[in-house]
Amino acid sequence: MKIEHALTKLFSLHQFGIKLGLDSITNLLNFIGNPQRKLKCYHIAGSNGKGSTSSFIASILMEAGMKTGLYTSPHLIKFNERIRINGKEVEDDFILYFMNLVNDYMKENPVTFFELTTAMAFLYFAQNNVDYAVIETGLGGRLDATNIINPVASIITTISLEHTNILGNSLISIAKEKCEIIKSNSKAFIGLVAEEVKPIFKEKSIQSNSEFFFISDFIKRSTHSVDLQTGNVFFRIYETPLRGEHQLINAALAILAVCRTQNDISGLIFSRGIKHVLLNSKIQCRYEIYNDCPKVIFDSAHNFEGVQSFVTEFKKESGKYEKKILLYGSMKDKDYEKSIQELANQFDHIYTISIDYERCADKNELSEIANLSGVKSEPLDNPENFIRNFILNKNSRECLVALGSIYILGQVKSKLLSNSINQSNI
């Protein structure tokens, strides 16, 4: 089997869709020797911010000199991005090795794409003897394939209405799903969540004999900074390389989690971990400045809460531009009508985009909603060409934002990079 064949076979498993439950991943991990039992993990769930918080945690651990695995999803351009050690992507050779290892098993035991990828990450981290593995959940928590681990810390970033057909149609029901990543005799760190769901996390932590920490008990927010006080340690976070006020909270949550689980990390290490998060984790599309002049921004705001955070940050600079253009795409299971209404007031023109993926919302429907919201809109077939021409036009008084599902943004960026259209050669 060659790597191209291995990846084709792996991606073909998307046809099975989402299959929640731990029986399949348990059997698969038994087959490959239960590598997850050799790992010390930080486990992160949440409706928004889990990718950023995971990246902050991994970056801090790396700056402390620890060999750190980072497992996130989805990838943006290349599958290998999902599994990294100290920022370096998993090698094609290991992917091929793993797919050959489980080839016969897969013939008799149906597994999903995410289950297989999760098992691959666990084995890769175990074989490479990482000091810590930072593991991001895929969907939910209780029945997510990653929820087979016993972490040193469980981190839940935010709770909002998402995947309601699977996780439930209330904040309480969704919180009950996500709180199940909290394990016995561990520590739980909870981000900014609604007061109504706090008792869910408190009760689960007490039942699990785990310490619990609400970030709201440790921070004070001002107009331009977040102050974090834990024990005798004080941090003032003014900014991070990931733009947005919400990223200050994500950084504070990451610092709190690492500070309360590691006893010998200095304040300087925490500062460097936050400062070098882009370099260490390679995270993309979090208010990412793809091109400076003219300004092109990529942001993977995939739900309404994410859109609100984007708008808050974008308003700080939007007044500089004579014309503001948005490329927007969404998955079907997101509240895209509400998101479009929020975005309509910020842009002069919205181009709606989609990709050939069964979960992707139809760009024509998105455009109709945008027009009804009072902004000029039309569907767009080749967003990568549109971005290319926008950059080549070099109009510094215009701004282009590509926003929405990371699946869609990934395909757009991939086509841009394949044509060598990026800020380094404009």
pLDDT tens digits, residue range 214-229? Answer: 999 999 998 889 999 9
State whether 72 and 185 are in the same domain.
yes
Q: Alpha-carbon distance 173 to 160, whole Å?
A: 10
Q: Alpha-carbon distance 284 to 75, whole Å?
A: 10
Residue with tokens 């000091």, as numbered in its chain: 131
CA atoms within 13 A on the CB side of 49: 28
DSSP H or E segment with residue 297? strand 295-299
**Phi–psi pair at 250, nearest 5 degrees:** -60, -40
Averaged pLDDT, 124-129? 98
CA distances (Å), origin 228, targets 193, 237, 393, 399: 17, 8, 44, 35
Q: What is the pLDDT of residues 187-204, one digit of tens each?
A: 999 999 999 999 999 999
Q: What is the pLDDT of residues 105-116, one digit of tens each?
A: 999 998 999 999
CATH number reported for the structural domain that contains residue 337 in this entry: 3.90.190.20
* Both tokens assigned to 174: 């969704």
Establish if 194 belongs to a structural domain: yes
Establish if 399 belongs to a structural domain: yes
- Read off the amino acid at residue 68: T
Q: Please tell me which residue, 243 or 161, carries the higher pLDDT value.
A: 243
The predicted structure's pLDDT at residue 139:
79
The predicted structure's pLDDT at residue 422:
42
First to last CA, the chain: 39
CATH number reported for the structural domain that contains residue 60 in this entry: 3.40.1190.10
Q: What is the dihedral of CA 119, 122, 123, 126, to 10 degrees?
A: -170
State whether 274 and 316 are in the same domain.
no
What is the CA angle 197-203-208, rounded to 5? Answer: 130
CA distances (Å), origin 186, targets 39, 41, 154, 183, 410: 14, 11, 8, 6, 35
Q: What is the dihedral of CA 382, 384, 387, 392, to 10 degrees?
A: -110
Establish if 426 belongs to a structural domain: no
State whether 63 and 191 are in the same domain.
yes
Neighbours of 304 (CB within 10 A): 21
State whether 268 and 228 are in the same domain.
yes
Q: Supply the DSSP string of 83-103, one letter for each residue.
A: EEETTEEPPHHHHHHHHHHTH
Using alpha carbons, select from 396, 394, 381 the residue that is nearest to residue 327: 381
State whether 219 and 360 are in the same domain.
no
**Please, which pLDDT band fits residue 164 given cuts at 50, 70 and 90?**
very low
Predicted TM-score of the model (pTM): 0.92
- Read off the amino acid at residue 7: L
State whether 79 and 188 are in the same domain.
yes
> Quick one: what percent of the chain has pLDDT higher than 90?
81
Q: Alpha-carbon distance 246 to 300, whole Å?
A: 14
Establish if 299 belongs to a structural domain: yes
The residue range of the domain holding 219 is: 3-281
Q: Does the structure show a pLDDT above 90 at 45?
A: yes
The predicted structure's pLDDT at residue 321:
97
Q: What is the pLDDT of residues 317-348, one digit of tens each?
A: 999 999 999 999 999 988 899 999 999 999 99
State whether 272 and 295 are in the same domain.
no
State whether 183 and 135 are in the same domain.
yes
Q: Please tell me which residue, 164 or 102, carries the higher pLDDT value.
A: 102
Q: Alpha-carbon distance 198 to 245, whole Å?
A: 22
CA distances (Å), origin 124, targets 107, 153, 403: 22, 21, 32
Q: How far is CA 289 from the centre of its chain?
A: 17
State whether 304 and 263 are in the same domain.
no
Which of 281, 307, 324 terminates a domain? The answer is: 281
3-state SS, residue 321: coil
State whether 121 and 223 are in the same domain.
yes
Q: Does the structure show a pLDDT above 60 at 424?
A: no
Q: Please tell me which residue, 355 or 399, carries the higher pLDDT value.
A: 399
* Both tokens assigned to 100: 């050959």
Which of 254, 281, 308 terminates a domain? The answer is: 281
The predicted structure's pLDDT at residue 122:
98
Averaged pLDDT, 279-295? 95
State whether 261 and 298 are in the same domain.
no
- Please state, rounded to an integer, the average pLDDT across all residues of the chain: 92
Q: How many domains does the chain have?
A: 2
Residue with tokens 């400076």, as numbered in its chain: 292
The predicted structure's pLDDT at residue 5:
80
**Please, which pLDDT band fits residue 420 given cuts at 50, 70 and 90?**
low
State whether 256 and 370 are in the same domain.
no
The predicted structure's pLDDT at residue 246:
93
Q: Does the structure show a pLDDT above 90 at 9?
A: no
**Please, which pLDDT band fits residue 426 given cuts at 50, 70 and 90?**
very low
Largest Cα separation within the chain, whole Å, is 60
Check if the beta carbon of residue 209 is closer than 8 Å to that of residue 185: yes
Which of 281, 301, 320 terminates a domain? The answer is: 281
**Please, which pLDDT band fits residue 10 given cuts at 50, 70 and 90?**
confident
Averaged pLDDT, 270-288? 96
Check if the beta carbon of residue 312 is closer than 8 Å to that of residue 372: no
